[in-house]
Amino acid sequence: MGASGDLAKKKIYPTLWTIFRDDLIPRKTVFVGYARSALSVADLFAGITPYIRLDSEDERQLFEDFQRQNVYVQGSYDQAADFARLAATVADLEGGSGSGSGGEGRANRLFYLALPPTVFAPVTKLIKEQVMTDRGWNRVIIEKPFGRDAASSAALSAHLSGLFREEEMYRIDHYLGKEMVQNLMILRFGNRIFGPIWNRENVACVQVTFKEPFGTQGRGGYFDTFGIIRDVMQNHLLQILSLVAMEKPVTPNAEDIRDEKVKVLKCMKELKLEDVVLGQYIGNPKGKTEDSQLGYTDDPTVPAGSVTPTFALAKCSISNERWDGVPFFLRCGKALNERKAEIRIQFRDVAGDIFAGQCQRNELVIRVQPGEAVYVKFMTKEPGMTFRLEETELDLTYTNRYKEAILPDAYERLIMDVFSGSQMHFVRTDELREAWRVFTPLLHEIEEKKVVPLPYYYGSRGPRQADDFCVANGYKFTGTYQWKKPTTAAGAGGNS
Ligand code: NDP
Ligand code: BG6
């Protein structure tokens, strides 16, 4: 649904192609695109192919096979007759599948809703009434936004729950498909060393950061009605927070994990205006690109005088025995100095210091992107004839340690999860409700008071007040740590 749209073109079709290419789904799977535009499959693919890389003649051949597995149906999003026509097309396509190896008469249907939220309701209703199968499973993938506050999200959830069972619904948060986000479970619960220090006695603060080096780039229309808190913080960053902070699940199964995530969210206080720093980028006169010289409100798709934040820092509090008093800083912004998503766990100072204040705080950093890595910043003796201290790191950099590994794209993993019926990395209804409970009062307050965000230059680290706020709330930054990029293995040991 929404086959002609941007998300479908740039993400979903390329992902479907990848999983088809890699033989991860049955070759007889048929992909039925549905949208309002009058398109042929060839037209549809003319839009998709620029986002697809074909590396060999074999791949080009296979891509043609993939195209042949595609069908396009044009129709409205609110007319039962159009959905009946879609259902008839799908039933026709399934005609041959009953006698195959897939089992007598069995045919599963996976619906992907890559649609604007305005048509979620009628489309899901018509899918339920006209297109669901009783010859196999039905699964529905839903893309954000899942509402814009607690009330609208609850209304959407009530609507969906009236149509589908929880196990049929897959709410996508693509950050849950990222390698290092998935790795959190193993790092935390598969190692003895982290468990005993993962608490308020040892952790000073936690920072979850998302930075992008570009602005809204013509997407200002959508962005302006949501803002960075709804776009990134309330979903991607909060999902990461809950995986970092939750208790150990009883099993690594979807329901047990999601139970723990909900529990920790329930311990979170609702955010208030004094817990946040908001920013909006302005043009940087020294910017090297034309884009960077323009501010958010210079984007013609953004309403003049908009006070929508493009940067936000929030201090979240978790009132439970493990985390009471430990600030969890969620930071996100557009048009910043770099692309980066990371989790930084900063430990408390060493008690009873005997090194005249030379020890810097230990940090465990889990870099989600770019360049997956886990590193622990810690103190060591400066090598040689000295007894000075030095900051160094234990470093697991994926490109060094896992040279051959191919890390699939988040969408690829998540869509495969849906095919195989695993809901571990999808957002459950009660989880979403809790996420909105934490953010709704703040969002309403920002909007009612028309809070003016702090300006920051395109390409900077965001408003200086955000750093000051972290420091005032317990984060320490010394700027003394220097990372020396490792050379090759031979180079590292070659100083005889
Ligand atoms: P730093 O101590 O240098 O930085 C810590 C944090 O402080 C960062 O999150 C940084 O980024 C933020 N910061 C920067 N300036 C200020 C400031 N003036 N006030 C407050 N905060 C500030 O350590 P890092 O862990 O960031 O490491 C430094 C570099 O080394 C990074 O580029 C890192 O990727 C690299 N490194 C790479 C490794 C690997 O690839 N395996 C291993 C270890 C290090 P922000 O702008 O987000 O706030
Ligand atoms: C999306 C946001 O959910 O995530 C975008 O709507 C953002 O604004 C994107 O750019 C970032 O995703 P990634 O995977 O590129 O970090």
Q: Are 152 and 160 in contact (CB under 8 A)?
A: no
Select the more confidently predicted residue: 484 or 190: 190
Query: What is the average pLDDT across 66-80?
Result: 98
pLDDT for the residue 488: 58
Reply yes or no on whether the pLDDT at 297 is more than 80.
yes
CA 352, CA 90: separation in Å to the nearest integer? 71
Helix (H, G, I), strand (E, B) or coil at 115: coil
Query: What is the average pLDDT across 191-216?
Result: 97
Distance from the alpha carbon of residue 136 to the mean position of ligand 2, in angstroms:
33
Query: What is the average pLDDT across 28-53?
Result: 97
Reply yes or no on whether the pLDDT at 218 is more than 80.
no
Query: What is the average pLDDT across 146-172?
Result: 96
Non-local (6+) Cβ contacts of 402 within 8 A are: none
Distance from the alpha carbon of residue 232 to the mean position of ligand 2, in angstroms:
7
Helix (H, G, I), strand (E, B) or coil at 131: helix
pLDDT for the residue 117: 87
Q: What is the mean pLDDT of the chain?
A: 94
Query: What is the average pLDDT across 407-421?
Result: 96
Of ligand 1's listed atoms, the one at least distance from the Cα of 483 is 30
Reply yes or no on whether the pLDDT at 359 is more than 90.
yes
pLDDT for the residue 495: 35
Backbone angles phi, psi at 416, to 5 degrees: -65, -40
In the structure encoding, which two tokens stand for residue 163, read together? 């149509």
Query: What is the average pLDDT across 59-75?
Result: 97
Non-local (6+) Cβ contacts of 431 within 8 A are: 242, 258, 261, 262, 265
Of ligand 2's listed atoms, the one at least distance from the Cα of 210 is 16
Burial (Cβ within 10 Å: 0-12, 13-18, ≥19) of residue 424: middle
Reply yes or no on whether the pLDDT at 90 is more than 90.
yes
pLDDT for the residue 182: 97
Of ligand 2's listed atoms, the one at least distance from the Cα of 236 is 3
pLDDT tens-place string over residues 6-21: 999 999 999 999 999 9
Distance from the alpha carbon of residue 277 to the mean position of ligand 1, in angstroms:
20
Reply yes or no on whether the pLDDT at 220 is more than 90.
no
pLDDT tens-place string over residues 117-156: 889 999 999 999 999 999 999 999 999 999 999 999 999 9
Q: Is 231 in the pocket of ligand 2 (CB under 6 A)?
A: yes
Q: What is the band of 489 on the pLDDT scale with cuts at 50, 70, 90?
A: low
Q: Is 481 in the pocket of ligand 1 (CB under 6 A)?
A: yes
Q: What is the band of 473 on the pLDDT scale with cuts at 50, 70, 90?
A: very high
| Lowest mean pLDDT, pick from 211-220, 272-281, 399-408 | 211-220
pLDDT for the residue 486: 76
Query: What is the average pLDDT across 386-395?
Result: 95
| Lowest mean pLDDT, pick from 35-49, 102-116, 241-255, 327-341 | 102-116
Pocket test for ligand 2, best of 217, 230, 232 (most atoms within 8 A of CB): 232
Q: Is 461 in the pocket of ligand 1 (CB under 6 A)?
A: yes
CA 12, CA 335: separation in Å to the nearest integer? 26
CA 134, CA 407: separation in Å to the nearest integer? 36
Distance from the alpha carbon of residue 177 to the mean position of ligand 2, in angstroms:
13
Query: What is the average pLDDT across 251-263?
Result: 97
In the structure encoding, which two tokens stand for residue 278, read together? 């908001």
Q: Which residue is closest in CA terms to ligand 1's atom 11? A: 461
Distances (CA, A) of 425 to 80, 171, 172, 346: 32, 9, 8, 26
Reply yes or no on whether the pLDDT at 496 is more than 50.
no
Q: Are 208 and 343 in contact (CB under 8 A)?
A: yes
| Lowest mean pLDDT, pick from 65-69, 86-90, 214-218, 286-290 | 214-218
CA 315, CA 466: separation in Å to the nearest integer? 10
Of ligand 1's listed atoms, the one at least distance from the Cα of 344 is 9
Percent of the chain with pLDDT over 70: 96
pTM to 2 decimal places: 0.95
Query: What is the average pLDDT across 352-363?
Result: 96
CA 65, CA 31: separation in Å to the nearest integer? 12
Reply yes or no on whether the pLDDT at 493 is more than 60.
no
Q: Are 35 and 74 in contact (CB under 8 A)?
A: yes
Reply yes or no on whether the pLDDT at 490 is more than 50.
no
Give strand ranges (E) for 159-252: 169-171, 203-211
Query: What is the average pLDDT across 420-443?
Result: 97
Say which ligand is closest to the CA of 410: 2
Reply yes or no on whether the pLDDT at 100 is more than 60.
no
Distance from the alpha carbon of residue 121 to the mean position of ligand 1, in angstroms:
44
Select the more confidently predicted residue: 489 or 61: 61
pLDDT for the residue 104: 56
Reply yes or no on whether the pLDDT at 102 is more than 60.
no
Active site residues: 236
Other CB atoms within 10 Å distance of the CB of residue 377: 20
Q: Which residue is closest in CA terms to ligand 2's atom 13? A: 175
